[in-house]
Amino acid sequence: MARKKATPEKKLTDINEPQLPAVPQLITDTIRDNYMPYVMTVIVSRAIPEIDGFKPSQRKLLYTMYKMGLLTGNRTKSTNIVGQTMKLHPHGDASIYETMVRLTKGNDALLHPFIDSKGCFGKQYSHDMAYAAARYTEAKLDHICTELFSGIDKDAVDMVPNYDNTMLEPVLFPTTFPNVLVSPNSGIAVGMASSVCSFNLAEICDATTALLKNPKATTDKLLDIMPAPDFSGGAELVYDREQMKQIYETGRGSIKLRSVWEYNKKDNCIEILEIPYSTNIEAIIKKLTELYKAGKLKEVSDFRDEIDLNGFKLTLDLKRGTDPEALMARLFKQTPLMSAFDCNFNVLIDGSPKLLGVADILKEWIRFRLNCFCRECRFDLKKKQDKLHLLQGLGMILLDIDSCIAIVRGTEKESQVVPNLMKEFGIDEIQAEYIAEIKLRHLNREYILERIKEIENLQKEIAELNELLADELKQKSAIASQLAAIKKKYGKPRKTKLIGAEEVVEVSEVAVEENYNVRIVLTREGYFKKITMRSLQGNDVHTLKEGDEIVFERDCENISEILFVTNARQVYNAKVSDFSQVKASSLGEFVNATLKMDAGEKPICAVLTSEIKPDSNFIFIFENGKGVRIPLSAYETKSTRRRLTGAYSAASPIVAAIFEDTTKDILIEATDGKAILVSSKLIPEKATRSAGGVQVMTLKKGQTVSSALIAADKSAAAGGVRKIKIPASGAALTKGDRQKLLGNVE
C-alpha cells in the first residue's frame, strides 16, 4: 500500500516579525475616496426630491405598481406590491411599505394621493396611530397616476437598468403637472436638507400656465394666482404677503399655521378639528398635559383624543365661566396648536441639488416638460412615418395585384419572395416584408384601397407634428391645454384657509392667569405657603419646622408679583401663581427649589410689588454694624428679569434686609446681648447697590450684629436702647421689653 505523502504545515507568521510600515494617507484623500461617494448617494439617490416631485424610493414603488397593471383593475395585497418593488429597490420590505403608506389615500399626507388604499394606513396627524401590516391591506394606483405615466411608453424619459440589470426603470416620471409643488416632500441628506410644502393643484396649473405665456411674470403676479401653500390637514395659515413673497423668491422661509376649532356651547367644550401639518396630536396632548400638571391649565377639566371615522377631533372640556376665545389665544401661544412649517425648496435639477424659489422651480419643470413632450411627439412622428412608409409600399402593388400574387406563388424559395417583390415593384425591404406578410385573403383591391385611405390623414398628422416640433410656442400652448384639462378633472378647493396677522390675538400671561384671593406666608428657613381664603376658614393654625418662624405674611391675589431678596446678594422676581396651593397645616414649598436658587441660598426679605411706592427703599444691615438704605429705583431693569445679581454690598455678611415703604423703627441686636432701636430715617440713602453703608451700631471687639428686626409697637417703652443719632452703642434690653417692641413677631 502506497504511503500518503505528508503535506507541509502552513507556516504561521511570527508575531515578532517586523511589519511593513503603514502608508500615510491624507485625510482629504480619505474623505474624497470613501466618504464623498456616500454623501453623493444620499443626496442624489435618497433624500432630495427631483423635478418630477418624487424621491427614488417613491418612484420605484409607483412604477412597479404601474408595471403590475394596478392603474386599472382591482386592488391587490400590499405584500405583493412590496415584494415586486424589491426588484427595483432592495432596501427591505419595511422601508418600502413605509414609503407606500405615505402615498396612500388613507394616510391623509397628500392633497392628491397616488395610491387608492383599503385598510388601516395610519394618519399623518398621529405618530401613535400605527398602520396595519402589509398582509392585511390592499392597494392600487389612483386615477391621477395616469398623469404621471403619460408618455412613459413613448420614450418621454430615459430608462436605465435596475440594480441587477434584469429590467429597466425610468429616471424620472413625465408628469403632466408640476407635482414637485403639489406633493409635499422632506428629507435630510448630508450637509443639506429639503422641505417642500404642498400647493393647491388648481392654483399651480394656473400659475404654470401664466409662466408658459409670460416667462417674465413677476412674483406678485404668481402671488395673485397662488397666494400661499395648501396643506392636506387644512388648518389656518397666518398670511403675510411680504413674508410669502420672500419664500417664493428665495425658496426659504417659515409659514405659521394655526389649528381650526369650534366652541360647543351645549357641552361647554372646545373641539379642535384641524391642526397644522407640521405637528401631530401626540405632541399637542403632551404639551397640554405639562401645562395641566403645572397648574397653568385650570380652565380645562379634561381633554381627550376623539379621532374616529369622521376624521380628526381633539376635545377640551371647559370649566364654567371660561372664555374659550381667551383660552385658545393662550394655547396657540403655549402649545403646538400653532406651529410653523419651515420651507427649504432644495430640489435635484439634472442630478445637482439647487435651492430655488417657486417661479424658478416652475420654470425648471416647464423646461423638463417641454423635453418630455417633444420626445413623445418624436416617438409618435416616427410611428406615423413608419406606417406611412408601409402604406405607400402597399399602394405600389394596387395597380398589379395579380403580378404580386404570381411572384409569391412562382418563387421557389421563401427567402427570394422579398427580393423578387422589391425588384418587381421598386419598393424597399421593409415595404416588401410587410406586403409578403399580408394574408392571401387580403390581397384584393378592396382591402388595399381601404388601407391606403389612411395615407392622406397620416401625411397631415406628420406635417402637424413637424410643425409642432419646430414651434416652441405651440408646444407651450399644448402643455397649457393639458394643465387646463388636469385642473378641470382633478382640481379641488383650498383646504388651508388664509387669515390675516391681525386675527392672531396676543395674550399676556398675566391677563389669563386664574385669579383669586390668597394669603401668603414666608418663614425664616425659606418655606413659602400660598393658602386660599376658603382653606383658612377650615384651619388657620400654621405648621412650622422646629425652630422656624414666620417673617412675612400678606393677603394678596394669585396674579400678584413678589420680590425675594436672598442671603446671596440676589433678588428674584416671581409670581404668586408660580407656587402651588397648600394648607396651613403643611410646611409649604421650599423657595430655593421652586425658584431654582443656588445651593445654600435662602430668602431674607419678601415684598409684594403692589406695595412698592416711588420713595420705597431696601434697608440692609450687615454683621459689621453698618447699614445702608438703597432706593428700589436702583433695581429697575430695561427688561423683565427673573434674577438680579449684586443686590447689595459684599463687604460684610448680611444680617437683615428690610423693605421700607414708610418710616420704621429697627431693633438691632449684637452678639453680646445689647441692642439699639433707631429710626430708619437715620440710616443714610445711597444711590448704588454696592454701597457698604455707614456705621449704625458701635460694636466691641469681637462682637457682631446678630439680628435686625422691625419694631411692631412704637409705643412700647424702649428704655436706654432708643437712639436718636448714629453710630450708637448698644444697651441692655430686658426680655419683656423686647417682646413688647416686637409684638407678635416673636
478-508 residue pLDDT tens: 999 999 999 999 999 999 999 988 777 666 5
Name the 3-class secondary structure at 670: strand
pLDDT band for position 730 (cuts 50, 70, 90):
confident
The stretch 71-80 carries a mean pLDDT of 94
Is the pLDDT at 510 greater than 50, yes or no? Answer: no
Going 460 to 463 to 469 to 471, the CA torsion angle's sign is negative
Residues 524-574 have pLDDT tens digits of 899 999 998 888 887 778 888 888 888 899 999 888 889 999 999 999 999
Which triple of cell numbers denotes residue 496? Answer: 388651508
Domain shared by 314 and 397, yes or no: no
The stretch 367-373 carries a mean pLDDT of 96
Range name among 232-236, 320-324, 607-611 with the lowest pLDDT average: 320-324
**Which residue has better confidence, 637 or 598?**
598
CA-wise closest residue to 573 among 564, 581, 582, 585: 564
Domain shared by 605 and 617, yes or no: no
pLDDT at 10: 47
Is the pLDDT at 679 greater than 80, yes or no? Answer: yes
Instruction: Assess if residue 252 is contained within a domain.
Output: no
**Which residue has better confidence, 138 or 395?**
138
Which residues have CB under 8 Å from 142's CB, separation 6+? Answer: 105, 112, 113, 114, 115, 116
pLDDT at 718: 67
pLDDT at 639: 59
Instruction: Assess if residue 29 is contained within a domain.
Output: no
Domain shared by 264 and 367, yes or no: no
> Cα angle at 205 between 204 and 210, to 5 degrees?
95
pLDDT at 745: 45
Domain count, the chain: 5
The stretch 239-258 carries a mean pLDDT of 94
Domain shared by 563 and 676, yes or no: no
CA dihedral 396, 397, 398, 404 (to 10 degrees): 180
The CA-atom distances, in angstroms, between 604 and each of 563, 657, 676, 693 are: 11, 6, 21, 19
Domain shared by 538 and 444, yes or no: no
Which triple of cell numbers denotes residue 532? Answer: 386660599
**Which residue has better confidence, 359 or 730?**
359
Domain shared by 711 and 733, yes or no: yes
Instruction: Assess if residue 31 is contained within a domain.
Output: no
Range name among 51-55, 519-523, 640-644 with the lowest pLDDT average: 640-644
pLDDT band for position 471 (cuts 50, 70, 90):
very high
Residues 408-454 have pLDDT tens digits of 888 888 888 899 989 888 899 999 998 888 887 777 888 888 888 88
Domain shared by 290 and 388, yes or no: no
CA-wise closest residue to 479 among 350, 347, 377: 377
Domain shared by 79 and 164, yes or no: yes
pLDDT at 715: 61
Instruction: Assess if residue 698 is contained within a domain.
Output: yes
- The strand pairing partners of 561, in sequence order, are 575
* Number of DSSP helices (H) and strands (E) in the chain, helices first: 22, 35
Domain shared by 480 and 535, yes or no: no
Domain shared by 676 and 700, yes or no: yes
Average pLDDT, the chain: 89
The stretch 36-62 carries a mean pLDDT of 88
In contact, 117 and 106? CB cutoff 8 Å: yes
Is the pLDDT at 734 greater than 60, yes or no? Answer: yes
DSSP state of 141: E
Instruction: Assess if residue 665 is contained within a domain.
Output: yes
Domain shared by 588 and 605, yes or no: yes
Is 434 tagged catalytic? Answer: no
In contact, 582 and 611? CB cutoff 8 Å: no
> Out of 35, 38, 125, 136, which one is annotated catalytic?
136
pLDDT band for position 17 (cuts 50, 70, 90):
low
Is the pLDDT at 298 greater than 70, yes or no? Answer: yes
How far is the C-alpha of 139 from the C-alpha of 80, rounded, in Å?
Answer: 10
Q: Domain end: 579, 611, 643, which one?
A: 611
% of the chain exceeding 90 in pLDDT: 59
pLDDT band for position 238 (cuts 50, 70, 90):
very high
pLDDT at 714: 63
Residues 49-61 have pLDDT tens digits of 999 999 999 999 9
Q: What range defines the domain where residue 324 resides?
A: 260-336
pLDDT at 137: 96
Going 20 to 25 to 29 to 34, the CA torsion angle's sign is positive
| Pairing status of strand 697-698 against strand 728-729 | parallel
Q: What single string gives the DSSP state of each residue in 594-659?
A: HTTPPTT--EEEEEEGGG--TT-EEEEEETTSEEEEEEGGGG--SS--SEEE--S--SS-EEEEEE
pLDDT at 480: 96
Domain shared by 480 and 530, yes or no: no
pLDDT band for position 399 (cuts 50, 70, 90):
confident
Is the pLDDT at 4 greater than 70, yes or no? Answer: no
The CATH number assigned to the domain holding 283 equals 3.30.1360.40
The single-letter code of the amino acid at 336 is: P
In contact, 63 and 169? CB cutoff 8 Å: yes
Instruction: Assess if residue 634 is contained within a domain.
Output: yes
Is the pLDDT at 638 greater than 70, yes or no? Answer: no
How far is the C-alpha of 231 from the C-alpha of 181, rounded, in Å?
Answer: 11
In contact, 46 and 194? CB cutoff 8 Å: no
Q: Domain end: 560, 579, 611, which one?
A: 611
